[in-house]
Amino acid sequence: MANIEYLQSALRQFKMYKKLGDGAMQQVDDKGLFLQPNEESNSIATIVKHMHGNMLSRWTDFMTTDGEKPWRQRDAEFDNDLQTRESVLQKWEEGWQCLFNALESITDDDLNKIIYIRNEGHTVLEATNRQIAHYSYHVGQIVYIAKMLKNDGWQSLSIPRNKSNEYNEKKFSEEKGKRHFTDEWLNK
């Protein structure tokens, strides 16, 4: 039972990070999606392209093949060569769909099975945690870039600045109960 709850929690977290990325990209104009501030920085489009490559590599046939697929061209993921918002969003959606399909295929008994990423053994649970951390890192980058570009036009994706007290008052006025922290964000 605990494994099923873990899988549901992981899926909710991934969905929350996708929604944060969706919200950030919606607030940025087309030019902003492709802005690369300097040679060592990535544009939002490039981050999406990298996440797409990682997601397809890690989650395609993940129970039977290494998570670093021979067909993956990781270095090319950092070429800033996507040209349209549509191409960025297509990769974004395709990557997440691959991940969601894979997660939804996992059974309770699968979480302790060993899978490999670059020949390093992970339980399915460990590999899932690894990817939650990786994707949240990159979604944070996307949000940060979008927030810088929008500046005072930014629409908060979490608790708005100077609204923590109001938010806490609302939360503490509710009856105590077991809820998942992502519920409120996913239902916005």
Q: pTM score, two decimals? A: 0.93
Range 16-42 average pLDDT: 95
The predicted-structure confidence for 94-134, as pLDDT tens digits, reads as follows 999 999 999 999 998 899 999 999 999 999 999 999 999 99
Is 14 a residue whose pLDDT tops 60? yes
- Separation of alpha carbons 147 and 21, rounded Å: 11
Residue 49 near residue 33, CB atoms below 8 Å: no
Name the residue with tokens 């990298």: 50
CATH topology for 2-186 is Four Helix Bundle (Hemerythrin (Met), subunit A) (1.20.120)
Sketch the domain layout of the chain as residue ranges. 2-186
- Separation of alpha carbons 151 and 96, rounded Å: 28
- pLDDT-based confidence at 3, cuts 50/70/90? confident
The predicted-structure confidence for 69-80, as pLDDT tens digits, reads as follows 999 999 999 998
